Chain A
């Protein structure tokens, strides 16, 4: 009981031609604007307030051409205020909806420019696929070809090959730089045949790798081979770097085991035991006693001197804020966040409004991830500031009447109460870089105390540092007098009175 449609050849032709026409028109309309160029224009002009898929200051713009006509959009982008004044109902409505926040007018954009931008808002995936090619191979490792190649590599080659290391066969990362593509393809498809054909290179490779024949892969198409080779060229690089980083992180903190010191200590211990038990010579016993006393004093002194010194203290912070990402990768100046360092005794923990200057926009993490910390982990850390201040990243609005919570941090650098230290004096007047005392903070994922913060450490610096008088007329007279008194050209901080007890202890 099936009803079968009878197609006449004519109706088939009609349908086909209609489909052809439709296809052609779609193609035409897509060609009206250049999405790649549109992306550039969008990023330069619109992205400050608009995203494609999310609300920012203005509405999300993906698929906006389906909601509004091209003429309306042209008029709106060129001068939205004029459009609103002309009494256009749509324009008024959107203006009201977005809190009467006027949008920047863009009279400098041509009709073609706007069409490009609209083409970009239309087809994000296409634009995305184009960018890696346009980017000159900046991030080829994520291109579809390389991803396909990775899959094929893992199913066919990975049993015997790695990209960065020799396994059964040689390492294949960057193999395309060493051998010609055609040779590689012939080799992979049937290496035995290639060797039999008398290819010298093939024989050499065979000998070099211990003469174990490699499986032939006649089932792999040319396309597959291209993908695999693309993966060996681009795919591995990222993996290798991440591997290298992990290895670095693991090995870096390990200091070599002090074998010599241990052996010396054991020998000394055995000698002392012998001296106090089996030995009958009184003088040796006396000598040993002195050694024990001096050694004991040395250890006791060493222990007592480090009481209250917190060098290398690295507590776990409630938010895994990475100075490496902020100050290192993104090169944000220390004082952007620690803004009170220039005027105040304390360098200042930034209040959340400073975090929000950037994180109003950056709601999720897009950087490289490690096995330990994935994207969800970093996103969760960003979410913690939103929880504290009451911000909804979906609507990009502060929640009204939200009970804000303070963010707790664990204090690392902590001078005892009897020592006075002033940041502004050191940052502004002396012009010392933060890193001098705090170490390479821009490389620290977790901050630790770099300096011992002992009095000896302060005094050392005060003795060495010459005072820069050129930019500060305030000290000019006293500098001349002091230079005469000490008979030097440049006066150090210590000679200025930087060692007086009362300067720091009062």
Chain B
């Protein structure tokens, strides 16, 4: 009798202690049937020792063109920039839908520095992380040069080609032109 009492008090104390302590879960929980949880094939961004660096995600082979993309011919040089500025024209018309999606994409990818109005007063400029972002109206830009810069970046701005598809880049270009025209007015 006494032993049971003693044991149960110890049990109660232990249980009450487990309720306290650091609750941060640093390790994943148990899985019921791991065979059904874990994939047999390799997972996106997963580790796979078959490949160099153990990375299942591989860089595309040189010269490969993703589906839906069009090879871009202007090189990332000053001459390429001038050429694109003069000759490169948008294959898409500036319709309402295109401009709408352009605005959506611009607000995500560009406005953080260039500002929602294109005046160079984005959040990162206000926080003094980036300085000297130009106002679009102070720059002599064309649709070709805008597209070229999204594609390759320029000076401190990096390429945004990996985040936007070809069509989205053109939609952003249209929207930037619209912003610039509004600013010049």
Give the size category of B's interface with A. 35 or more
For A351, give the chain B residue with the smallest CB separation: B162
Judge whether A266 and B12 touch: CB under 8 Å: yes
Give the size category of A's interface with B. 35 or more
- Note all chain B residues with C-beta closer than 8 A to A406: 53-55
Judge whether B158 and A336 touch: CB under 8 Å: no
Given contacts A333-B107, A353-B159, contact A277 B1 (CB under 8 A): yes
For B165, give the chain A residue with the smallest CB separation: A343
Judge whether A416 and B37 touch: CB under 8 Å: yes
A309 to B19 alpha-carbon distance, docked (Å): 19
- Note all chain B residues with C-beta closer than 8 A to A283: none
Looking at the assembled complex, report how far the CB atom of A118 sits from the nearest CB atom of chain B, in whole angstroms. Answer: 16
- Note all chain B residues with C-beta closer than 8 A to A266: 12
B181 interface hit (Cβ, 8 Å): no
Judge whether B108 and A336 touch: CB under 8 Å: yes
**A307: contacting residue among B30, B53, B54, CB under 8 A:** B30
Judge whether A49 and B23 touch: CB under 8 Å: no
A330 to B53 alpha-carbon distance, docked (Å): 33
Looking at the assembled complex, report how far the CB atom of A267 sits from the nearest CB atom of chain B, in whole angstroms. Answer: 11
B64 interface hit (Cβ, 8 Å): no
Judge whether A330 and B129 touch: CB under 8 Å: yes
A356 interface hit (Cβ, 8 Å): yes
- Which of A222-230, A358-366, A460-468 contacts the other chain? A358-366
Judge whether A330 and B123 touch: CB under 8 Å: yes
Judge whether B29 and A48 touch: CB under 8 Å: no
- Per-position 1/0 for B109-141, Cβ under 8 A of A: 100100000001001100101111110001000
Looking at the assembled complex, report how far the CB atom of A337 sits from the nearest CB atom of chain B, in whole angstroms. Answer: 8
Judge whether A354 and B163 touch: CB under 8 Å: yes
- Note all chain B residues with C-beta closer than 8 A to A349: 45
Judge whether B112 and A331 touch: CB under 8 Å: yes
- Per-position 1/0 for B20-61, Cβ under 8 A of A: 100111111111100011110000110100000111000000
A361 to B158 alpha-carbon distance, docked (Å): 10
Judge whether A346 and B158 touch: CB under 8 Å: no
B4 interface hit (Cβ, 8 Å): yes
Rank and list the top 3 A-B pairs by shortest CB-CB distance, nearest first.
Answer: A48-B132, A47-B132, A47-B131
12 A-B pairs whose Cβ atoms sit less than 8 Å apart in the complex:
A100-B78, A262-B16, A306-B29, A307-B32, A312-B25, A314-B26, A330-B124, A336-B112, A339-B164, A358-B130, A406-B54, A417-B38
